[in-house]
Amino acid sequence: MMRAACGRCGIPRPRAARDLAETRCDGHPRSVDSQPQSLQPCVHCRDSTFQFEGVATLWSYQDRVCEAVVAAKYAHQTPLGDALGRRLGRRVEAIFAGDLPDFVTFVPSHVTRQLTRGGNGNLAIANAVARSVGRPCRLLMRTIRRIAKQAWLDDAQRLENVRDAFSLKKSYALARPPGIANRHILVVDDVLTTGATANEVARVLRDAGARRVSLAVVARAVRSQ
């Protein structure tokens, strides 16, 4: 588990800052799950603007974590997604203890990608997170066009790739899902890299009146310097 991270962008803290965060004022070690996360920008995100406020992260995206995240994208791996979501839910409870979300949603995928994978793996993770924190999981978002795989693109292309790619999921009875205004919404995703996708989803939710949009991810990709 990632021992300590920037609460704003999810990047792991340097060793010195991590050691300080893991020590109580009386000198005894602090539980990893009880560590508060500051929303003050770190060196990695001080020049960045995010539409989401606060990130709960389990691991760095490397080695076996990569394998687990990729496997969990497929519908036949629902038990794996459920296990990841339960662990992430405990992390969410610790990080957002003072302001738990009103409900949980997840980053949607285009219907063609869902057909390829047999569904949206984020749904299983989000359902498990919601059960863990005792909040409902709601399908709020949809993709309105195909999106290229973000991993193939540079930073500028990632932003353009997801621009206006999401909208609120509408129903025949209502123009938009009810109950978004003035609510704290937690968006679940499997991996956070540049934040372009999460930012665009959060922007749509905030434009609909959400008071706060937070993010919970299984893994945080960290680029080599």
Residue 107 lies in a domain: yes
Full residue range of the structural domain in which residue 141 is found: 51-220
Largest CA distance in the chain: 58
Residue 34 lies in a domain: no
Provide the β-strand partners of residue 56.
216
Residue 98 lies in a domain: yes
User: Residue 13: which pLDDT band, with cuts at 50, 70 and 90?
Assistant: confident
Residue 19 lies in a domain: no
Residue 31 lies in a domain: no
Q: How far apart (Å, rounded) are the C-alpha atoms in residues 60 and 10? A: 9
State the pLDDT at residue 169: 84
Residue 15 lies in a domain: no
Q: How far apart (Å, rounded) are the C-alpha atoms in residues 121 and 114? A: 9
State the pLDDT at residue 64: 93
Give the model confidence (pLDDT) of 18-75 as tens digits: 443 443 444 444 444 444 456 788 888 888 889 999 999 999 999 999 999 999 988 8
Residue 153 lies in a domain: yes
Instruction: Give the sheet arrangement for strand 55-60, strand by strand.
Output: 55-60, 212-220, 184-192, 103-106
State the pLDDT at residue 176: 58
Name the token pair of 69.
Answer: 């995240």
Number of domain units in the chain: 1
Residue 20 lies in a domain: no
CATH number for the domain spanning 137: value is 3.40.50.2020
